[in-house]
Amino acid sequence: MTGTGYRVTPARVLRSEWHKLWTLRTTWITLLTACVLVLAVGIAMGTTYDGDDSDVDTVVFVLFGTQLSQICFAVLGILVTAGEYATGMIRASLTAVPRRLPVLWAKAAVFTTVAFTLCLVTNVVTFLVAQIWLSGSDKELTLTDDGVLGALAGSAAGITLMSLIALGLGALLRSVPGAIGAFVGSILILPEVLTTLPLDGIDTVIRHFPAQAASSLGSIERVEDTVAPGTGLLALALWAAAVLAAAALRLRRQDV
């Protein structure tokens, strides 16, 4: 049938991807784990603070657990795309949406919305809870203090864009193990390898790599040896756009 009620529209593709994401048990487990890790580590940092880390940025200090939650969000991003290739469900998705690319854009949009919202809420809650124990110390701050909300939002944006890169890798490689390996290799290992090369300007280039760019976003004070927050955000956005563009190109040219 080709009646109006059966037309494929962007809103319906988005709705489909939204329901698809939340009906997976993996989504709930991964997101809950990510939130609990950030909150638990934040509480631990607050309750054990004795002044030894007074030189560490307060937001960085209480959100130390985001280094663990980033792994959860990245894995979920990969499962959103590569997971469908592993189960074969991608065939049904692309049969329902023959133009193909709207499926990828909808997945990216839904995942970005969920990841950023959940990261930001978790960051704010963790910050407020940690301040219960940090009150009266040199790390006592409020949400209204200069730079606090920006740092909390910046941390959420960094995690979201890094996870969007992982989602793009999943769509590009169409393999969960392959995408996880590519994410770890390109994000964590490659920059370390490049630092050993005796090339002029290599340090400047590395500062614009995803993990290094993300590290500039989640602090009140500018982190040493990082780019400016605006530059870091732009670099991360360009990395995510490049990976998604490569995935879109393969999706258009190659059958499932």
pLDDT above 70 (res 125): yes
Closest CA to 126 of 146, 102, 151, 105: 151
Say if CB 75 and CB 30 are below 8 A apart.
yes
Predicted confidence (pLDDT) per residue in 151-192, tens digit:
999 999 999 999 999 999 999 999 999 999 999 999 889 988
Please report which confidence band the pLDDT of residue 108 belongs to, taking 50, 70 and 90 as the band edges.
very high
DSSP category for residue 172: H
Task: Give the number of other CB atoms < 10 A from CB of residue 131.
Answer: 19
Please report which confidence band the pLDDT of residue 256 belongs to, taking 50, 70 and 90 as the band edges.
low
CA distance 53 to 134: 12
CA distances from 112 to 151, 169, 182 (A): 18, 15, 20
Q: Count of residues for the chain?
A: 256
Closest CA to 123 of 162, 145, 155: 155
Mean pLDDT check: name the lowest of 6-10, 44-48, 118-122, 123-127. 6-10
Which pLDDT score is estimated for 5?
55
Which pLDDT score is estimated for 197?
85
Task: Report the run of H or E that residue 83 belongs to, with start and end.
Answer: helix 66-87
